[in-house]
Structure 1
Amino acid sequence: MTDTAAITADVLSRARRIASRLKGERQTPIVPAGNVAGRAMATVIAIMTFLAALTVGAVSLVGDTAARWQNDISDEITIQVKPAEGLDMPQALETARQIALQTPGVQGASILDEAATGRLLEPWLGEGVDLSELPVPRLVIVSIDTEDPPNFAFMRTELKEAVPQADLDDHRAWVSRLVTMARTVVFIGVFVLSLVIVATTLTVIFATRGAMSGNRHIVEVLHFVGARSSFIAREFERHFLRLGLIGAAAGGLVAIALFAMLGSFTAANRQTPEADQISALFGSFTIGWTGYAGVLLLIATVATLTALTSRWTVMRHLAEIDMISPVEN
């Protein structure tokens, strides 16, 4: 009995101190600010926000890269001249270039020299390879007017008649594959982001219920002595908003720093063949201002979601108390 009376007195004492805040006095909050459960929840939110930020950055990076690829491919087409017995490669390349220049809708044409061709093949064949000893196709890069493109069928026919070893590639298949890939990546990114948000919501719900279980008697006493549900819910909302903001900011800023480091590393090692291939695929490997804005928006969304979820959980719990109390009485 003594222990029960002591516990009841302690609960009532804490409830009075918290209830006095209704009159404007500064007292102890309902939910302790620096407990272990709070730090653990902030860590979980930071991890999930980091993963979500990586997803946002990856989607932004792939989307920007695909758009850049599509623009580059739309602006250029290539003529590939395959080596053959008795073929004068320089003359064949020049003939193909002249045919391209004489076609309406073509803005320019240039032959990809042996040095540039060697750099393209360097990651596979190594340095110092004599291309004259290998049956390597040569390319003519043709710039076209995207608003008034040339007649590709006519150009392909003219090339076949003049240089049978020449093939015209207008990159339409690549454009279709890029669009499909970009849409798939965006869909997967949105799906993963949705899973992270659902996991965050469930984590906040369980954490809020855990916090309420630890302070159940105080919450019930405050509720029964006249404290409004909005006041109690606001206490939990403020507590979890702080945790959500700390965790989301930590995870998001780490993700931003990671993308910035990758961009700096790629820029510093751009002269190597491996970096050339990475730059060809992903540009400078930076997510751009849209990606960074998306990460910042994600931080605000996670923090707001954490606060609103905790408020909804508390209000629902208090509503359940109001429904059970008349039955018990």
Structure 2
Amino acid sequence: MTLYYRPIPQTDPARPAGALTLAGGWCWFDRIEVLSRDAAPRIVSAEALPEDVVTALTAARPAVAGLAMDRPRIMGILNVTPDSFSDGGRFAAPEVALRQALAMQADGAEIIDIGGESTRPGAVTVADAEEVDRTAPVIAALRRQSDVAISIDTRKAGVARAALAAGATLVNDVSALRWDADMAQVVGESGQPVCLMHSGGDPATMQDDPRYDDVLLDVYDHLAARIAAARAAGIAADRIVVDPGIGFGKTMDHNLALLRRLSLFHALGCPVLLGASRKRFIGTLTGRPVAADRAAGSLSVTLAGVAQGVQIHRVHDTSETKAACAMMLALNGR
């Protein structure tokens, strides 16, 4: 029977002796929820953990794109597409995209995530050359004016290669290296980090009745397998980030189940990225049908992630997220 170990994160200032630091960050834990597919969950003391699990849960995470993972980091979303769900078309012109990137950096974004192909539910695939034309010039222009970390949001090796040549410092692949057989080699040769995201199929069909045996454990197992595949392809463990893929082939109940137990993903031993900003389930729960009106709900999800030790937060509302994270950390003595 496979066991899964979820730390129960705390930020309370009354930290008991013997409590362990979660992932070298701002949370601590002294209890674990033990999960399996064959038995009811149970809570045990952290003292009962196997040594390898303690190491995976407590080791300080390596820097990502030059950013230490000892506090929450903000990744600003920049879609240079005509059809992204929240801001499609607003930043398609290169000069407008550059202004937005610099504005997000000024507002607190430490990584700018640039994408040239929408991966919203129902989106169609964009030709490689068109995606390069949308993204590489913006990356090059931003790199000339700023040393901010730049992420290329793509599942295509050719697009990633062009972006890295233009100055990108992170590859954010929603397919976790599955879409393009050459992507692992491109990432491996670049020496740059990669984010492996769980997605339940292709964007065109991923929301067509998604099903899981146990969404939390299924996503965990998938990411563990993708980490193993990346390492087998020559990508070092200290260059891997994981993302549970909120909204990608998941119902509202699936998303909520993942968010309630996000801390499980620390057991993979990698930095964790959370990308839930303005997504449909937030609009459904808060009565906000327009994506741009979902900032409050998005901030709530971000702070729930911070409370579970999540290191990277991919958001649209960078200024508000920076302020919310700063206040939360200050209230917890950080």
Same fold (TM over 0.5): no
Q: Structure 1 or 2: larger strand share? A: 2
- Give the number of the structure with larger relative contact order, counting CA–CA contacts within 8 Å between residues 6 or more apart: 1
Per the normalisation by structure 1, the TM-score is: 0.20
Per the normalisation by structure 2, the TM-score is: 0.20
Q: Structure 1 or 2: larger helix share? A: 1
